[in-house]
Every structure is written in structure tokens, then in C-alpha cells.
Amino acid sequence: MSPTIQSICDDFALLDEWEDRYRYVIELGEDLSEFPDTGRTPANKVSGCVSQVWLITEYGDGPDPIVTFQGDSDAHIVRGLVAIVLALYSGRKASEIVATDAEDTLKALGLDEHLSSQRSNGLRSMVRRIRHDAGMALRQNA
């Protein structure tokens, strides 16, 4: 079972050193569910990331469907960042995803201060893609 965003925040709070936090982020990535090779397509690739990142979006039924995501990256730290973003967004209603601003959560974790500008840009690209996909689900079902 994947960790919740709250459990990730709680674990981060227990770790004093950033080296330990980076190790934890890598562990989160290692625990991501297996990503299918068939999902590594140009359509699933997240643009704006220096590392390769893929996201698969699946939609539930109804006017405000539950949206789930699968993700992967070819870089260890980025794979962990994918896990954090999925913990924040995956399995929620499309309207909740669109309304959730990741900035506050990422600041609470301290990621905004401890990631390179390239990784921060890639993280924002993942969030934009997820929120875009959720918005599309709402528009298609309106």
C-alpha cells in the first residue's frame, strides 16, 4: 500500500538531516508500483522534466470522477518525487485535484529549498500535467 501524503509529511518531520530525507525520497521511489513498459510512450511522457518521467492517468465514472495515476522516472530522486506527487493527488476526485495546490505541501516538506532548479521545474511540470488531466476529466463529464 502506498503511503499517504500525511504519513510522508510525518516521516519528513522525524528526519533532521537532508541527507536522510533524500534517502527517504529515494526509498519512496523504490516502493512505487511496477510501471508497465507499454506506458513508456511519448503521450505519457511529462514534458518539462530533465529526467524522463512518465504518467499514466486513469479515470473513474461520473461527473467528478476519481482519477488515479501511475508514474515512473529513470532517475532515483525524481522517482521519489513522483511518489510524493502521486501520494498527494492519486485516487482523489478530479475537482479535489484541480483545487489542490502542491506548493504548500512541497514547502512544508522543504523541497522548494532543497531541490535544484531543474528538479523543481520538473516537479512543477508533473503537477501541471496531473491537474490538467483532472481538469480534462471535469470538462468531458460536464
Active site residues: 49
Q: Which three cell numbers stand for residue 70?
A: 501511475
- Nearest C-alpha neighbor of 94 from the set 44, 55, 131, 125: 131
Q: At what angle do helices 5-14 and 18-30 cross, to 10 degrees?
A: 150
Burial degree of 129 (CB within 10 A; 0-12, 13-18, 19+)? buried
